[in-house]
Structure 1
Amino acid sequence: MRFIYMSLFVLLFNCYQVERQCTDYKTGTFYSEITIDGTLYKSTFTRTDTLQIETYNNHVDSTKLRWINDCEVIFKTINPKSMAEKKDVHLKILTTTDSSYTFEYSYVGETKKQKGVAYKATTP
């Protein structure tokens, strides 16, 4: 009887695993939306294997990328102008679709995480 319950548990657990296609989002042009304290923040960015250039509020930031695995990356600001920009950011892709991914991010070593969604940019 235990075997049946255990088998049922394993089957149910496997059915709810989310398949992620993170490699589809390692390079390209995207835009993201993040809501913090009820305010929506939008940015656009272009990513190569080792570099990301992001535009937010007419401000351009460049970061070096170090991929931990296909779904996790560390961002290091190239020319930080403040103490906050000197902190590395850890981003993890949680789910993917054919045109977007949901992610969570935080400063390296901190437990407070924020979530957001990034979309593949469409060319006109």
Structure 2
Amino acid sequence: MKKLLILPLLLLLISCYNVERNCKDFKNGKFKFDYKVDGVNKTTVFERKDSIEIETFEGKTDTSSIRWVSDCEYVLQKVHPKNMAEKNAIVMKILTTSKNSYTFEFGIVGSDAKQRGTVEKISDGR
């Protein structure tokens, strides 16, 4: 009987949990994104200033425009795409934030396929 009373209380507590999202803290600054491609660690460093993002990957720099949909969601579009794939806009959604990092979901606009990652803020960009 006691177990039956604990279960609804536990479900009530879980449903009241709010994920922290201080997305405005990540609109500007310098960031690092570490990930693996075919078992090899890769790092992208990028700097974001409101409506522009400058990314450096393997010694190459690229610029994208940013259109903020909300405080936690934006669309990236390459300024100078080099091929058809780079012409596709990418939607980015910040899912959770902590003091110096955020977890996000991203994918091509209009596609249901999404990937997740975590970005670390390395400076405020000043």
Q: Distance in 2 between matches of 1:37 and 1:110?
A: 23
Q: Could you give the per-residue CA deviations for residues 45-96 of structure 1, whole angstroms, max 9, x where no partner exists?
A: 1101100000001111100000110111100100001111000000111111
- How high is the TM-score relative to the length of structure 2? 0.83
2:14 counterpart SS class: helix
The aligned length equals 118
Q: Distance in 2 between matches of 1:46 and 1:59?
A: 14
Q: Distance in 2 between matches of 1:83 and 1:51?
A: 21
Which amino acid letter does the alignment assign opposite residue 13 of structure 1?
S
Q: How far apart are 1:121 and its partner, in Å?
A: 1.1
Q: Which runs of 5+ in 2 are unaligned?
A: 1-6
The aligned runs of 1:8-47 (5 Å cut-off) are: 9-15=11-17, 17-47=18-48
Q: How far apart are 1:8 and its partner, in Å?
A: 6.5
Q: Distance in 2 between matches of 1:41 and 1:6?
A: 45
The aligned runs of 1:8-87 (5 Å cut-off) are: 9-15=11-17, 17-87=18-88
Give the percent of matched residue pairs that are identical in Structure 1 and Structure 2.
Answer: 39
Q: Distance in 2 between matches of 1:45 and 1:115?
A: 17
What value does the CA root-mean-square deviation take over the aligned residues?
1.9
Distance 1:42 1:70, change over 3 A: same
Contact preservation (8 Å) 1:101, 1:117: yes
Contact preservation (8 Å) 2:29, 2:123: no
Q: Which runs of 5+ in 1 are unaligned?
A: none
Distance 1:95 1:36, change over 3 A: farther
1:117 counterpart SS class: strand
Contact preservation (8 Å) 2:44, 2:55: yes
